[in-house]
Amino acid sequence: MGENYFLEKRAKEVVEGLGLKRKPKFGFTLGSGWGNVVHMLKNATVLSYSSIGLPACGVAGHAGNFVFGELHGVEVVVQQGRYHLYEGKQFSQILLPVAIMKECGIDALVLTNAAGGINQSYAVGDLMFLSDHINLTGRNPLIGVEPTKDHPVFVDMTQIYDREMAENLCDAAEDMGISHHRGVYMQVLGPSFETPAEIRAFRSMGADAVGMSTVMEAIYARYLGLRVAGISCITNMAAGIKDQKLRHEDVLKESNARGKKFSEFLDRFVCMDK
Ligand code: HPA
């Protein structure tokens, strides 16, 4: 029996225990520096990860809560902080938040992250909406999962990121004057940053941005049948593109500086996609 069987069973137990009165439509997974979005929620209720037996988030900028509330009159659930493979976390921990949001009733998941820009036409502060990804981790969250009639494991990945959601994201960014792109995200394992030679190789492979999250959750969310969107905040240009060293503090500084604007942007997106 694959570990995801237990994941979905655990998600059911957690959600039954919550006694939710309203079903959220969207789930948002907030990556590094995106945590401010929760301040936009109306009628918010907070559920800490620790209260449902999930470990604390080890990475600065990842609070470790679910927050339920309304964005633009639409019920949403926000995952404020995620777990990463580079923390040595298991898929049962990385993916449980996604399983829980699915069990709460969402039909669409928006995965946000901070990423290094590989495409030289990108600039720090731009948003990239994922058109596709390259999984360079050598890991797949569906390994060992028992296929069922409803959930086959040979999940089609030809259009993993929902086109309509991406168009709405572009429209929302356009309206707000946020510089944005559609591009290919490469997930590496981390936690060390890349070398300049790796970045040159990734560019020739077709990657526009690189980061250490998102792809595992996106694959699992598609397996669960959710619509998925991915948003990268370009917090730095990737290694070797500029003559500077990379530091996680700078990644956080750049995305935090735009937290309020990005929160308003997600609010606008929800209004368009509802
Ligand atoms: N590389 C990998 N992950 C990242 C980066 C980067 O340059 N920036 C933010 N997350």
Q: Which SS3 state, helix, strand or coil, does residue 95 take?
A: coil
59, 120, 212, 244, best to mutate for ligand 1 pocket (most atoms within 8 Å of CB) = 212
Q: Which residue's CA is minimally distant from atom 6 of ligand 1? A: 116
Active site residues: 32, 62, 84, 86-87, 114, 212-213, 236, 248
Position in ligand 1 atom list of the atom nearest CA 251:
9
Q: Which residue's CA is minimally distant from atom 9 of ligand 1? A: 115
Beta carbon of 202 within 6 Å of any ligand 1 atom:
no
Which pLDDT tens digits describe the chain residue by residue (274 residues)?
455 568 888 899 889 888 888 899 999 998 877 877 888 888 999 888 888 878 777 666 557 889 999 988 899 999 988 889 998 888 888 899 999 999 999 999 999 999 999 999 999 999 999 999 999 999 999 988 877 777 888 999 999 999 999 999 999 999 999 999 999 999 999 999 999 999 999 999 999 999 999 999 999 999 999 999 999 999 999 999 998 888 888 888 888 888 788 888 998 998 887 6
Pairing of strands 127-135, 74-80: unpaired
Beta carbon of 128 within 6 Å of any ligand 1 atom:
no
Topology (CATH) of 3-273: Rossmann fold (3.40.50)
- The number of C-alpha atoms within 13 Å of 104 and in the hemisphere containing its C-beta is 29
Position in ligand 1 atom list of the atom nearest CA 117:
7
Q: Which residue's CA is minimally distant from atom 10 of ligand 1? A: 115
Q: Which SS3 state, helix, strand or coil, does residue 249 take?
A: helix
Q: Which residue's CA is minimally distant from atom 2 of ligand 1? A: 211
Beta carbon of 238 within 6 Å of any ligand 1 atom:
yes
Strand-pair partners of 46: 67
For the chain, domain boundaries: 3-273
What one-character-per-residue DSSP string does 104-161 give?
HT-SEEEEEEEEEE-STT--TT-EEEEEEEEE-SS--TTTTPPP-SSS-SS---TT-S
Please state whether the predicted TM-score (pTM) of the whole model is above 0.85. yes
CB under 8 Å to 230, separation ≥6 — which residues?
Answer: 110, 111, 112, 113, 129, 130, 133, 161, 185, 214, 218
What is the largest distance, in Å, between two alpha-carbon atoms of the chain? 53
CA of 241 to the centre of ligand 1 (A): 13
